[in-house]
Structure 1
Amino acid sequence: MTGWDAVWFFIISFTIAAALPGAGQGALIAQVMSRGGRNAVPFAIGMVSGNFLWLTAAVLGLSQLALRFEPVFIAVKWLGVAYLIFLAFRLWNAGAMPSVPRETDKAQGFLSGAFLTIGNPKAVVFFGAILPHAFDMGALSLQQLSFILIGGVSIDLAVQTVYVLVAERARRLVQSERHMRIVNRCSAGIITGSAVMIASRT
Structure 2
Amino acid sequence: MEPTTLAAFALALTLAAASPGPGIAAVVARALGAGFRGAVPMVLGLVAGDLVYLSFAAFGLAALAASFGTVFLVVKYAGAAYLIWLAVRLWRAEPSAQAVGAVATGRPWRTFLAGLSVTLGNPKVMVFYLALLPSLIDLERLTALGFAELIAVVIVVLLVVVGGYAAAAARARDLFRSPRAMKLMNRGAGTMMAGAAVAVVAK
TM over 0.5: yes
User: Could you tell me which amino acid in structure 2 is paired with residue 72 of structure 1?
Assistant: V
Scaled by the length of structure 2, what TM-score is found?
A: 0.91
- Find out whether 1:75 has 2:74 as its counterpart: yes
In structure 2, the residue matched to 1:200 is 202
Change (3 A) 1:101 1:190: closer
Aligned residues: 200
Superposed, which structure 2 residues align to 1:83-94 within 5 Å? 83-94=82-93
User: Does the CA-based 8 Å contact 1:58-1:125 persist in structure 2?
Assistant: no
Secondary structure in 2 matching 1:36: helix
Distance 2:3 2:47 in 1: 25
Out of 125, 147, 150, which is 1:148 matched to? 150
User: Could you tell me which amino acid in structure 2 is paired with residue 168 of structure 1?
Assistant: A
Q: CA RMSD in A?
A: 1.8
Superposed, which structure 2 residues align to 1:34-49 within 5 Å? 34-49=33-48
- Any stretches of 5+ residues in structure 2 without a counterpart? none
User: Could you tell me which amino acid in structure 1 is paired with residue 40 of structure 2?
Assistant: V
User: Could you tell me which amino acid in structure 2 is paired with residue 52 of structure 1?
Assistant: L
In structure 2, the residue matched to 1:131 is 133
Deviation of the 1:3 alpha carbon: 2.7
Superposed, which structure 2 residues align to 1:1-202 within 5 Å? 3-96=2-95, 97=97, 98-100=100-102, 105-120=107-122, 123-201=125-203
Distance 2:46 2:2 in 1: 29
User: Does the CA-based 8 Å contact 1:91-1:184 persist in structure 2?
Assistant: yes
Secondary structure in 2 matching 1:89: helix
Q: Deviations over 1:32-89 (max 9, x none)?
A: 1111111111111111111111111111111111111111100110001111111111
Runs of 4+ displaced beyond 6 Å: none
Distance 1:90 1:161 in 2: 23
Deviation of the 1:24 alpha carbon: 1.1
Deviation of the 1:125 alpha carbon: 3.2
User: Could you tell me which amino acid in structure 1 is paired with residue 139 of structure 2?
Assistant: M
User: Does the CA-based 8 Å contact 1:55-1:124 persist in structure 2?
Assistant: no
Distance 1:87 1:130 in 2: 33
Scaled by the length of structure 1, what TM-score is found?
A: 0.92
User: Does the CA-based 8 Å contact 2:89-2:103 persist in structure 1?
Assistant: no
Aligned-residue sequence identity (percent) comes to 35
Change (3 A) 1:133 1:151: same
